Amino acid sequence: MRKTRIIASLSVAAAALLALTACNSGTPGDTTSGGNGDGGSSTPWTVATGVSVPDSPTFERIQKADKVTIGVKEDQPGLGYLDATTGKRTGFDVDIARWMAASLGYGEDKIDFRPIASANREQAIVNGDIDFYVGTYSITDKRKEQISFAGPYFITGQGLLVAKDNSTITGKDALTKDDVVCSATGSTSIQRIKDETPAQTKEYDTYSKCVQALTQNQVDAVTTDEAILLGYAAQDPDKLKTVGDVFSEERYGIGLAKGDTGLQTFFNNTLTDGHDVWQKIFDNNLGASGVKAEQPAVDAVG
């Protein structure tokens, strides 16, 4: 009984997200327009001027380059998405990235977005290929050995996406050794399935490839954060559904160079002082999706 209610509420949420995504993609003059340097008039943030970020090697590099290079996802609707036809980037994470860039004094025309897969994030930050990363990036102790995180700016949990007509996989505990579960290489999601279930795993570099495999009946389920899965379910509500309760806590952070406490502090302050901006970004991108709406408190710097 309880399970049925969860499934029903998630499908409603998925439909709502679809409506929202469709609406966003048709909005003229949205945040990706660039040109005027503030990312468009409809953005809830403003581009700061005269910014200084004490003790930040990353900010020095950004100033020298006169642009900010941000790692993102571009195949996760609602979070980090690139519309190949219009060239517009949308999503909660992308807007958080734009907001952070604006807080440093860099508008849309000075942002270089780089798509980077889950498995390659730490290395891209360590190499200095990107200045920071915003893309469903869970704060973990293992990752903190190589990089630092600002935030968290969002909290979600791991879930399961299955074919609409699948009645056997009702949640994590229903997975058996005969099930093939797909997720992204290098994610917390794939690791948890390996550690905590008897299921077989299939890995790709992106979740959209897993979703494609699911719709072609090559795998039985896709697993990752519920916020991501709801976006895919919303794109194909006749064929896909999310099932069961979430089974982890994923705290999304902004990945940045290890030990850059100057930038970490600056972003944490921007997040903490900008709750109204956060709320608008959430409402614009995920408000109708059914995922949890509260802005979390940031972690201590270090």
Site residues for ligand GLU per CB under 6 A? 118, 135-138, 184, 187-189, 224-225, 250
Q: How far is the CB of 177 from ligand GLU (least distance, A)?
A: 23
Q: How far is the CB of 187 from ligand GLU (least distance, A)?
A: 3
Closer Cβ to ligand GLU, 231 or 262, answer by number = 231
**Distance between the two ends of the chain, CA-based, in angstroms?**
45
Which of 247, 10, 210 minimizes the C-alpha distance to 117? 210
d(CA 228, CA 158): 9
Q: How far is the CB of 3 from ligand GLU (least distance, A)?
A: 24
- DSSP letter (8 states) at residue 107: -
Its sign, for the CA torsion 178, 184, 189, 194, is: positive
Contacts by residues 271-277 (CB-CB < 8 Å, ≥ 24 positions apart): 271/150, 271/151, 271/153, 271/295, 271/298, 272/297, 272/298, 274/45, 274/99, 274/103, 276/44, 277/44, 277/45, 277/99
Closer Cβ to ligand GLU, 104 or 182, answer by number = 182
Closer Cβ to ligand GLU, 118 or 295, answer by number = 118
Q: How far is the CB of 252 from ligand GLU (least distance, A)?
A: 7
Closer Cβ to ligand GLU, 110 or 143, answer by number = 143
Q: How far is the CB of 143 from ligand GLU (least distance, A)?
A: 8
The CA-based diameter of the chain, rounded to the nearest angstrom, is 59
Closer Cβ to ligand GLU, 31 or 138, answer by number = 138
